[in-house]
């Protein structure tokens, strides 16, 4: 390609990115001028309660979130958590207020604004970009099933949240929370710390009160990690509970969407809306279930951080105080070929399902296959590969087909290791109902030069992700202002149980910490520990 042609393409891509980002300022239907509702300290149930008696309207609420997006995300700390806003948000809020005045409210979530991770399709005039300029015009006019259910509930799709590009399945040297479309998401608690990924924008937006709740997605840690480092509640539901149609895919055997909120009750409410109100997760919450419950503590999932271990020990004590019986679990092993098999499965599924997604998009996009995407990123490297490459995309091109023995054998191995020899075995062999561990390590500084540089990992969320079993993270405290979380896992379809256990734990503490937007951790923060 000639230099002039290359520079022309870069200019076009940059123009498209700027156009999309400007839409997050100006295309919300009404310019936010004030914050009529104090949404900072409100959980989702409190938002719902405030709408019921008419303390504030959906228009007031939507206007308040738009104002916070303008003052917190686009100026001020500039979190870069939001990629685009729905031009119809205020009109939808007005319609909700009219329904409420007529006694025709659709559900508890009627009139409540939510954000979607920008790999989830909505039939609003919003592109679904996965953070890539290749999909800058991917306006499909389709709702993912979970979005359709939220819409049927009267919820307002406020906009799209930034993410790790391609849900962090692009490079082994990636920077979590960065996308070519949205830039780098900042952690609202300590701005130079990782927001983690890939649902970085969703979790940061929830923590910063930019919406009443957000929807994230996870293949392996992408709800749990960002939720815990941003100090919010995140549920990775049982695989298959939520259909993944019209979500930009990685691996269909692991991909799922899930709620990210400030409270466990809020996560239950969101899950009710996302599943069409079939299971009454909110109504079945019962914190008393932990009394006499045997809880398996995953001591093998600790790392060597004294401060993190102290927080985890305090969390264990809180569970004991709530009435749980603690059972220590010191060891758990996976076959030596486990991680290689896991990578093979992800690569094979990614190639197959991304090819299918891109080729089937009704939008006018320049890529129709993984091979097209790799070529596009090379042609537009100044934008798309500004801080890291695409070795995972390239290696996925060579992955074995899903009907091959190599893929089938690898899938069987990782499922056996994480299901019958994994979570099922831990629950059975130790006679426990729930497993408890740290959600992850303390978030490090974001590093665009070296890529993600995390400390030794803490937590065992991968076994829940790969098995397809549920995983709930709940804030357990902060270390020098940086949030850390505790995870609760159990067997297939134990989502309601985990929400009740999480509520019991939440009731013993102070809930989600309020962001302080500190530039960095300093010596005084450390001396206070």
Average pLDDT value for residue range 381-390: 97
Where is 341: in which H helix or E strand?
Answer: helix 338-360
Contact residues for 72 (Cβ-Cβ < 8 A; gap 6+): 79, 188, 208, 210
Indicate if 284 belongs to the active site: no
Distance CA 5, CA 104 (A): 57
Where is 236: in which H helix or E strand?
Answer: strand 233-236
Q: Residue ranges per domain, the chain?
A: 3-336+412-527, 338-411
Average pLDDT value for residue range 488-495: 98
Report pLDDT for 36.
Answer: 66
Q: What SS3 class is residue 216?
A: strand
Indicate if 222 belongs to the active site: yes
Instruction: Give the per-residue SS3 of 347-373.
Output: HHHHHHHHHHHHHHCCCCCCCCCHHHH
- pLDDT class for 523, splitting at 50, 70, 90? confident
Fill in the DSSP letter of residue 133.
G
- pLDDT class for 527, splitting at 50, 70, 90? confident
For the record, the structure tokens of 228 come out as: 């815990």
- pLDDT class for 524, splitting at 50, 70, 90? confident
Report pLDDT for 98.
Answer: 97
Distance CA 421, CA 344 (A): 20
Where is 156: in which H helix or E strand?
Answer: strand 156-161
Which residue among the candidates 57, 117, 179, 262 is catalytic per the annotation?
Answer: 117
Contact residues for 331 (Cβ-Cβ < 8 A; gap 6+): 300
Distance CA 524, CA 526 (A): 5
Fill in the DSSP letter of residue 112.
-
Report pLDDT for 52.
Answer: 85
DSSP alpha helices (H): ranges in 370-471? 370-379, 381-384, 391-396, 405-418, 424-429, 461-467
Cα three-residue angle 274-277-282, rounded to 5 degrees: 90
pTM attached to this predicted model? 0.95
Which residue among the candidates 153, 176, 199, 222 is catalytic per the annotation?
Answer: 222
For 88-123, write each residue's pLDDT tens digit. Answer: 999 999 999 999 999 999 999 999 999 999 999 999
Average pLDDT value for residue range 371-385: 98
For the record, the structure tokens of 165 come out as: 């590009």
In terms of DSSP bridges, do strands 113-117 and 213-218 run parallel, antiparallel, or are they unpaired?
parallel
DSSP alpha helices (H): ranges in 217-369? 224-229, 264-274, 306-321, 338-360
Name the CATH topology of 3-336+412-527: Amidase signature (AS) enzymes (3.90.1300)
Which residue among the candidates 96, 132, 153, 198 is catalytic per the annotation?
Answer: 198
Distance CA 306, CA 292 (A): 29
Question: 92 vs 110, 201, 270, 343, CA distance in Å?
Answer: 10, 23, 19, 43
Fill in the DSSP letter of residue 444.
-
Q: Looking at the DSSP assignment, which residues form a beta bridge with residue 473?
A: 234, 487
Indicate if 117 belongs to the active site: yes
**Contact predicate 378/366, CB 8 Å:** no
Kindly calculate the radius of gyration of the chain based on its CA atoms and give it in whole angstroms: 22
């Amino acid at each position: 390609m000639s230099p002039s042609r290359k520079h022309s393409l870069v200019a076009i891509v940059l123009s498209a990115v700027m156009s999309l980002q400007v839409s997050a300022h100006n295309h919300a239907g009404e310019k936010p001028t004030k914050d009529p509702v104090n949404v900072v300290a409100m959980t989702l149930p409190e938002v719902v309660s405030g709408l019921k008696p008419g303390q504030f309207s959906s228009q007031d609420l939507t206007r308040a979130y738009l104002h916070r997006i303008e003052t917190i995300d686009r100026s001020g700390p500039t979190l870069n958590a939001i990629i685009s806003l729905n031009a119809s948000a205020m009109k939808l809020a007005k319609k909700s207020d009219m329904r409420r005045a007529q006694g025709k409210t659709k559900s508890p979530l009627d009139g409540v604004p939510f954000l979607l991770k920008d790999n989830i399709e909505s039939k609003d005039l919003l592109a679904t970009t996965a953070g890539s300029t290749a999909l800058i015009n991917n306006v499909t006019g389709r709702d993912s099933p979970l979005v359709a259910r939220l819409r049927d509930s009267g919820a307002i799709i406020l906009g799209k949240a930034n993410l790790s590009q391609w849900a962090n399945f692009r490079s082994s040297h990636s920077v979590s929370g960065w996308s070519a479309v949205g830039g780098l998401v900042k952690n609202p608690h300590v701005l130079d710390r990782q927001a983690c990924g890939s649902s970085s924008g969703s979790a940061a937006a929830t923590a910063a009160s930019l919406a009443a709740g957000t929807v994230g997605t996870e293949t392996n840690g992408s709800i749990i990690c960002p939720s815990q480092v941003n100090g919010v509640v995140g549920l990775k539901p049982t695989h298959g509970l939520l259909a993944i149609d019209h979500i930009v895919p990685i691996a269909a055997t692991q991909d799922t969407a899930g709620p990210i909120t400030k409270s466990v009750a809020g996560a239950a409410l969101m899950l009710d809306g996302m599943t069409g109100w079939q299971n009454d997760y909110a109504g079945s919450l019962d914190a008393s279930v932990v009394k006499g419950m045997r809880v398996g503590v995953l001591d093998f999932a600790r790392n060597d951080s004294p401060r993190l271990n102290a927080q985890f020990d305090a969390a264990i004590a809180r569970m004991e105080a709530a009435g749980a019986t603690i059972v220590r679990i010191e060891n758990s092993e996976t076959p030596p070929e486990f991680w290689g098999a896991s990578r093979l499965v992800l690569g094979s599924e990614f190639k197959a399902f991304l090819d299918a997604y891109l080729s089937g998009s009704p939008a006018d996009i320049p890529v129709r296959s993984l091979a097209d995407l790799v070529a596009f990123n090379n042609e537009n490297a100044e934008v798309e590969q500004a801080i890291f490459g695409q070795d995972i995309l390239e290696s996925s091109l060579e992955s074995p087909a899903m009907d091959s023995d190599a893929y089938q054998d690898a899938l069987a191995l990782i499922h056996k290791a994480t299901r019958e020899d994994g979570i099922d075995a831990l629950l059975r062999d130790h006679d426990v109902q729930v497993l408890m561990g740290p959600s992850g390590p303390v978030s490090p500084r974001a590093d665009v030069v070296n890529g993600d540089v995390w400390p030794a990992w803490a937590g065992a969320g991968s076994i829940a992700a790969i098995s397809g079993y549920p995983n709930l993270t709940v804030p357990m405290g902060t270390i020098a202002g940086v949030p850390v979380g505790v995870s609760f896992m159990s067997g297939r379809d134990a989502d309601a149980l985990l929400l009740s256990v999480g509520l019991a734990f939440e009731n013993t503490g102070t809930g989600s910490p309020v962001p302080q937007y500190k530039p960095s951790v300093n010596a005084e923060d450390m001396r206070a520990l």
